[in-house]
Structure 1
Amino acid sequence: MVKQQVLEAQASRIEQVLASHKIAARVWGGRVTPRYVQFHVTTAWGTRLSRVVSLSEEIAMALGARNCRIQRRNGALEIEVPLEEVRGVSFLSILKQVRHVPPYTALLGVDEANHPLFVRLPSPEVAHVLVAGTTGCGKTALLRSMILSLALGNRRSALQMVLIDPKQRGFAPLKDLPHLLRPIICETPEALETLQALVREMLRRDREGRSEPRIAVFVDELADLAQEGGASCTELLTRLAQRGREAGIHLVVGTQKPTSQIAGPLFKSNFPVRLVGRVASPEDARVAAGIGGTGAERLLGRGDFLAVASGEVIRFQSAYADAGETRFILRHLGPGGRWEGVRAQCLQAEPVEEGKAIQPRQWAQRFLRR
């Protein structure tokens, strides 16, 4: 835990750096997140943002940090200084804080205020989710946490899942998940056959006016699937993205190459919610987020993500279920995917104190947080 005296000293150093360049400012805050310390800066009227941003390396050097991130958000100037020791966010530790999770709701992680952050797939403002980021950003771990939370919160009779894993390793720990419609799919021909079957199911449900049981389709690497499957693969995914929500079919697609050349038409308007980890360039950040100026190319990696929806951005640290937690959850999930009993067993080791549990509320009709 970072001591208050350390935070105050860091704030003073930032003020000194700014003062040395004749920028009058007051630095306050020092809010500690799992990945960084966030300071708020108040400058004199008329101070240009570019003057402060140009001092990022000098500020980082004064604080003994490897770098720092300076941005304007909600009308205020913020400086983010990465922590030397990264605090991981345990999957089960987050669930211990939450009293109730609505059906079809996936856990993402914790926001900057350390409040649990969720996304509800059937919401009209969600429907499908794109998860983008380079190798090492924590994309696959985030997908696995979303899958596990959906499995814990829904019986198989209400929610079924299809896992497509072209890399043949990302979803392997989940092979015994009772909610799977079929074994994990690793080969492109089988993936195409499954997508075709899902399109037929979508059309059948449209005719019958049905949307249940809901089906969540997770793809660990869209670029590999699109390149090997060609135009037919992209076309099938696009049809599911455009018409799947009404039929209860939801896509959660991961990619480390969020380029317009890979699946431009698929990206454009079919993924209202984007979860963006660190990417290689500002252009990749723009394509992945669907908007410019998010700064996703400057994220810290290892679970540091932005949730983007309707032009709004929330930074969060993704939940991580290690091998032990994953095995424990799968071992207690019965063939039908029990919820309450499993949740009690998973959380009984460290029961939540009375009055400490969090009842998540809906935020902007998209995310669920405290």
Structure 2
Amino acid sequence: MLSEKIKPQVAGILMILVGIISFLSFFDKSGIAGRIFLDGFRFLIGKSIFLLPPLFLLGGISFLKKGRQKIYLPILLGIFLLTLGVSGIISTFQLLQIKDTVGGINQDQLVIEKEGGIIGYLITLPLEKFFGIEVTLIINLAVIVIGGLILIQFLLPEKEKITTEKEPSNSLIRKIFAPKFKIKEVSPQNEVSASFPEEKRKGPEIFTQPQISGIPLAKDLKIKTIEKNNKIAYQKPPLDLLEPDRGKPNSGDIKANSVIIKRTLQNFGILVEMSEINIGPTVTQYTLKPAEGIKLSRITALNNDLSLALAAHPIRIEAPIPGRPLVGIEVPNKIRAEVRLRNLISHQVFQNSPADLLLALGRDVAGSHVFADLARMPHLLVAGATGAGKTICLNNLILSLLYRNPPEILKFILVDPKRVEFPVYNQLPHLLTPVIFNVSQTVNALKWLIGEMERRFDVLSEAKARDIAAFNETREEKDQTMPYIVLIIDELADLMAARSREIEAGIVRIAQMARAVGIHLVVATQRPSVEVITGLIKANITSRITFQVASQVDSRTVLDMAGAEKLLGSGDMLYISSDISKPKRIQAAYTSEKEVRRVVNWIKKIEKPTEQTTEDLSESLEKTLTLTEETTESFFEGGDDPLFEEAKKVVIESKKASASLLQRRLRVGYARAARLIDMLEEKGIVGPGEGAKPREVYFGTEGGKE
């Protein structure tokens, strides 16, 4: 028995052979067999025999190319109808000619001449008796058209289809009433050329671009050396250190799902018109337009009914889609595509963006790339259940910043109470201090950041610069630039359980004021409760990323709305910021620990030791972190401070008193410097504060009062 793969090839060869024999028989080059073939088919179809050689050749070639058994019958049927129609046309014209010449129909003469063959004779005479000559001619033309259309459909090469999904049903009624829509599918490899918007906005900005072919893949891009602020050259890590995207999403039978959605809504009295379908890496979004007078709450209330009808759980209804008069129904894909950081970083928007702190977030439901600028957020809260993808997201954010900024421009302070997530970044030249593990050092790091924030405000005020970007543009030497500082806390809940008052106060103080001086917070927690994410923290951190959470209550705690409990996990997230009215669903990129180690090790080998400016920052922070808890507590509770005498000496020698002065001279935080000023006032060394006026210093020397 022949296999299914061989049968079409054998049939194709046989058809080509018949076509060649029939062609050679016209010239009497195929022997007795050719003459028998010629006489037999000439008797059957008359002059239509001249159609057989090209038709058999084309049919055989089609069998060899397509190799599908189901096209045998259509091709043979097309050949039969085409020759039948041509024979009928020839017989009809012959019949018309005899009728005009003789004045009637001589059936014997028609049979003897048989220019249309016996088949044409048997078809034409009955049709002529019932319909007449004119209608017989039209019927034969219709048969020719039908046969030709069938052959054209199966002989011409197929065009690329928009989607690879099969038809939901062969029913003619189903096809007629099936909704018409446009399908957009994500391509895991193609990149897009896009320009970064020049207009700056106050809030964080999201950049999403459609997939367009023709742009070089990530593997084709070369390593570039870029300049930051036109002064610091930085060789970016090569993209080969990261893995490319893998796989392609499979959304199932999208046309059948579209019919099911429309029918289910109609069963509940909701008339809708299906619109486009967006196939993303994780979910497929079916968009629809409700009829006039339909309340959106009626559609959102049918979440469980749609989930039952589609046999998919969980589904999410976005009503309406921001900026569009449509409702989106997001159905999980049967097979998810793996989004990797490499294709996001190689994207033209990321490569050409002037933003120093651009973050690669992932891909949205339409497969478009999504980026956001941390400098415009300016702080970020990340929440989600265990295993939902928080730590991988933090790694993506860190790598995004490392691929854009040298150590002179960007510094990290990493806090990892779990002690297992961030140690890989130790000895990275971008770190101000080794990864912090305990609560006391975290409190001291927050206090140091507050002091550094106050110092930077004084520097910007003296330089008459509005923010850190304007200040760095005016610096002539690279060692005079002020680096960005990003504090990343991997687990806030553990810190809040131990020292909630100090942690909350420090985070709120930094979140309120630190944006202009280039200090930013990224805080993550796996327990999004009101005890961890307090009202003050939420009010000051408006940009939030939420991965899958356990309940709707947790979702409302982070986003102030439900939705995160219906996410799918494994990097499926909702992103919201101050300039977005509703959360945006994004599939975060996946970065393995091996990729992180490769990038970190490469930077360690390439980058030189940091300049003196950042070394001073590191030494100051290290000194603050080594402060004992007793000293810190006694200082903030009002006890004697060991730096009191030194502060007194600084104030008397400089003949002025301010918290910022003590911060710079004593390398302490703002809170401690302010407490020292209060103690000096209590001792009668300095006068009380009078608004914007400087305090008076009552001692000209250490020994006597003026």
1:261-340 to 2 correspondence within 5 Å?
261-289=531-559, 291-292=560-561, 294-310=562-578, 311-312=580-581, 313-334=583-604
What residue in structure 1 maps to residue 261 of structure 2? 14
For residues 417 and 303 of structure 2, the distance between their equivalents in structure 1, rounded to whole angstroms, comes to 40
Count of residues in correspondence between the two structures: 334
Determine which structure has greater relative contact order: mean sequence separation of CA pairs < 8 Å that are 6+ residues apart, divided by chain length: 1
- Partner amino acid for 2:344? I
- Partner amino acid for 1:10? N
- Partner amino acid for 2:327? L
Look up the SS of the partner of 1:170 in the other structure: coil
Q: 1:253 aligns with which of 523, 543, 550?
A: 523
What residue in structure 1 maps to residue 401 of structure 2? 150
What residue in structure 2 maps to residue 37 of structure 1? 284
Look up the SS of the partner of 2:352 in the other structure: coil
Structure 1 residue 62, shift from structure 2 partner: 3.0
Structure 1 residue 282, shift from structure 2 partner: 3.2
For residues 22 and 232 of structure 1, the distance between their equivalents in structure 2, rounded to whole angstroms, comes to 56
For residues 438 and 163 of structure 2, the distance between their equivalents in structure 1, rounded to whole angstroms, comes to 47
- Partner amino acid for 2:576? V
What residue in structure 2 maps to residue 92 of structure 1? 342
Q: Which moved more, 1:216-225 or 1:261-270?
A: 261-270
Q: Summarize the Cα distance change of 1:68–1:295 in structure 2 as closer, same or farther, 3 Å threshold.
A: same
Rg bigger for which structure? 2
1:133-172 to 2 correspondence within 5 Å?
133-172=384-423
For residues 204 and 54 of structure 1, the distance between their equivalents in structure 2, rounded to whole angstroms, comes to 54
- Partner amino acid for 1:90? R
- Partner amino acid for 1:20? N
Look up the SS of the partner of 1:245 in the other structure: helix
What residue in structure 2 maps to residue 342 of structure 1? none
For residues 22 and 244 of structure 1, the distance between their equivalents in structure 2, rounded to whole angstroms, comes to 54
- Partner amino acid for 2:339? V
Q: Summarize the Cα distance change of 1:39–1:14 in structure 2 as closer, same or farther, 3 Å threshold.
A: same
Look up the SS of the partner of 1:305 in the other structure: strand
Look up the SS of the partner of 1:127 in the other structure: coil
Asked if structure 1 preserves the Cα contact closer than 8 Å seen for 2:575 and 2:584, the reply is: yes
1:121-132 to 2 correspondence within 5 Å?
121-123=374-376, 126-132=377-383
For residues 317 and 533 of structure 2, the distance between their equivalents in structure 1, rounded to whole angstroms, comes to 32
1:78-121 residue CA offsets vs partner (Å, 9 max, x unmatched): 11100122222101122222332431222211223322222222
Look up the SS of the partner of 1:261 in the other structure: coil
Look up the SS of the partner of 1:186 in the other structure: coil
For residues 362 and 585 of structure 2, the distance between their equivalents in structure 1, rounded to whole angstroms, comes to 10
Asked if structure 2 preserves the Cα contact closer than 8 Å seen for 1:155 and 1:336, the reply is: no
For residues 347 and 565 of structure 2, the distance between their equivalents in structure 1, rounded to whole angstroms, comes to 31
What residue in structure 2 maps to residue 349 of structure 1? none
1:255-310 residue CA offsets vs partner (Å, 9 max, x unmatched): 12222222414323211311122223333323312x43x52222222211122112
1:61 is aligned to 2:308: yes
Asked if structure 1 preserves the Cα contact closer than 8 Å seen for 2:414 and 2:489, the reply is: yes
Look up the SS of the partner of 1:88 in the other structure: coil
Look up the SS of the partner of 2:431 in the other structure: coil
Structure 1 residue 69, shift from structure 2 partner: 1.6
1:3 is aligned to 2:271: no
Structure 1 residue 237, shift from structure 2 partner: 1.7
1:114-146 residue CA offsets vs partner (Å, 9 max, x unmatched): 2222222222xx111111122222111111100
Structure 2, unmatched stretches of 5+, are 1-161, 167-252, 469-481, 609-706
What residue in structure 1 maps to residue 452 of structure 2? 201
Asked if structure 1 preserves the Cα contact closer than 8 Å seen for 2:361 and 2:371, the reply is: yes
Look up the SS of the partner of 2:319 in the other structure: strand
For residues 281 and 21 of structure 1, the distance between their equivalents in structure 2, rounded to whole angstroms, comes to 28
For residues 41 and 11 of structure 1, the distance between their equivalents in structure 2, rounded to whole angstroms, comes to 9
For residues 607 and 293 of structure 2, the distance between their equivalents in structure 1, rounded to whole angstroms, comes to 58
Structure 1 residue 318, shift from structure 2 partner: 1.1
**Over aligned residues, Cα RMSD in angstroms?**
2.3
- Partner amino acid for 1:191? T
1:179-235 residue CA offsets vs partner (Å, 9 max, x unmatched): 111111111122122222222211221222284211000001111111112311221
Asked if structure 1 preserves the Cα contact closer than 8 Å seen for 2:284 and 2:365, the reply is: no
For residues 320 and 174 of structure 1, the distance between their equivalents in structure 2, rounded to whole angstroms, comes to 18
Asked if structure 2 preserves the Cα contact closer than 8 Å seen for 1:2 and 1:32, the reply is: no
What residue in structure 2 maps to residue 179 of structure 1? 430
For residues 532 and 314 of structure 2, the distance between their equivalents in structure 1, rounded to whole angstroms, comes to 32
For residues 167 and 2 of structure 1, the distance between their equivalents in structure 2, rounded to whole angstroms, comes to 46
Q: Summarize the Cα distance change of 1:336–1:250 in structure 2 as closer, same or farther, 3 Å threshold.
A: farther
- Partner amino acid for 2:574? L
1:44-83 residue CA offsets vs partner (Å, 9 max, x unmatched): 2222334333433333233332332223023421111001
Q: Summarize the Cα distance change of 1:121–1:44 in structure 2 as closer, same or farther, 3 Å threshold.
A: closer
Look up the SS of the partner of 2:534 in the other structure: helix
For residues 233 and 69 of structure 1, the distance between their equivalents in structure 2, rounded to whole angstroms, comes to 36
Q: Which moved more, 1:54-63 or 1:106-115?
A: 54-63
Q: Summarize the Cα distance change of 1:172–1:34 in structure 2 as closer, same or farther, 3 Å threshold.
A: farther
Asked if structure 2 preserves the Cα contact closer than 8 Å seen for 1:188 and 1:225, the reply is: yes
For residues 409 and 297 of structure 2, the distance between their equivalents in structure 1, rounded to whole angstroms, comes to 52
What residue in structure 1 maps to residue 674 of structure 2? none
For residues 405 and 390 of structure 2, the distance between their equivalents in structure 1, rounded to whole angstroms, comes to 23
Structure 1 residue 42, shift from structure 2 partner: 2.2
Q: Summarize the Cα distance change of 1:28–1:263 in structure 2 as closer, same or farther, 3 Å threshold.
A: closer
Q: 2:331 aligns with which of 65, 81, 87?
A: 81
- Partner amino acid for 1:296? A
For residues 551 and 494 of structure 2, the distance between their equivalents in structure 1, rounded to whole angstroms, comes to 20
Asked if structure 2 preserves the Cα contact closer than 8 Å seen for 1:110 and 1:117, the reply is: yes
Q: Summarize the Cα distance change of 1:67–1:295 in structure 2 as closer, same or farther, 3 Å threshold.
A: closer
For residues 234 and 67 of structure 1, the distance between their equivalents in structure 2, rounded to whole angstroms, comes to 35
Question: What is the TM-score of this pair, normalised by structure 1?
Answer: 0.83
Look up the SS of the partner of 1:37 in the other structure: strand
Report which of the two has the higher share of strand. Answer: 1
Structure 1 residue 2, shift from structure 2 partner: 6.9
Q: Summarize the Cα distance change of 1:146–1:44 in structure 2 as closer, same or farther, 3 Å threshold.
A: same
- Partner amino acid for 2:401? L
Asked if structure 2 preserves the Cα contact closer than 8 Å seen for 1:166 and 1:221, the reply is: yes
Q: Summarize the Cα distance change of 1:229–1:334 in structure 2 as closer, same or farther, 3 Å threshold.
A: same
What residue in structure 2 maps to residue 346 of structure 1? none
1:95-114 to 2 correspondence within 5 Å?
95-98=345-348, 99-101=351-353, 102-114=355-367
Asked if structure 1 preserves the Cα contact closer than 8 Å seen for 2:426 and 2:434, the reply is: yes
What residue in structure 2 maps to residue 359 of structure 1? none
Q: Summarize the Cα distance change of 1:20–1:337 in structure 2 as closer, same or farther, 3 Å threshold.
A: farther
- Partner amino acid for 1:159? L
1:192-231 to 2 correspondence within 5 Å?
192-209=443-460, 211=468, 212-231=482-501
Structure 1 residue 335, shift from structure 2 partner: 6.1
